[in-house]
Amino acid sequence: MVQQITKGIKISVRTHFEGSFYKSYRLHFGFGYEITIENQSKDSVQLTSRHWRILDSLNSPETVDGEGVIGKKPVLKPGESHTYSSGCLLISPIGAMRGFFNMVNFTTTRKFRVNVPTFKLSAPFAMN
């Protein structure tokens, strides 16, 4: 698990290998990840969008931007958390992801970014 706190928002990430799959006649490696967003600040906040940089050791980096996370824009009061699961396919058994969440503070109305630490994606058989 990797964790990071930005402006009172704690991000925790767990990853797992889901297996290999064929997509468009090409072997891909599936990875799942679970992210917990915990509000350790004194203000209520809302996640509005996400930005991902997906790194694949055998492919060019990919950037993904989108609204919310898995169709939701969670509002977190102080002490609350939101957990969601997602995944990605790589053409390599080794890769990584990093990014950030765009948030808004309801008390100050200011927008801010919460960093998601780099997390590794590696199939068990590819580890040394």
Predicted local distance difference test score (pLDDT) of residue 6: 96
Write out pLDDT tens, residues 66-115: 999 999 999 999 999 999 999 999 999 999 999 999 999 999 999 999 99
Q: What is the pTM of this model?
A: 0.92
Burial of 124 (0-12, 13-18, 19+ CB in 10 A): exposed
Q: Is 94 within 8 Å of 126 (Cβ atoms)? A: yes
Predicted local distance difference test score (pLDDT) of residue 127: 63
Domain ranges of the chain: 2-121
What is 2-121's CATH number, 2.60.40.1470, 2.40.420.20, 1.10.3720.10, 3.40.50.720? 2.60.40.1470
Residue 54 pairs in a beta bridge with: 62, 97
Write out pLDDT tens, residues 15-58: 999 999 998 899 999 999 999 999 999 999 999 999 999 999 98
Please determine, for residue 118, whether its predicted confidence score (pLDDT) is greater than 80. Answer: yes
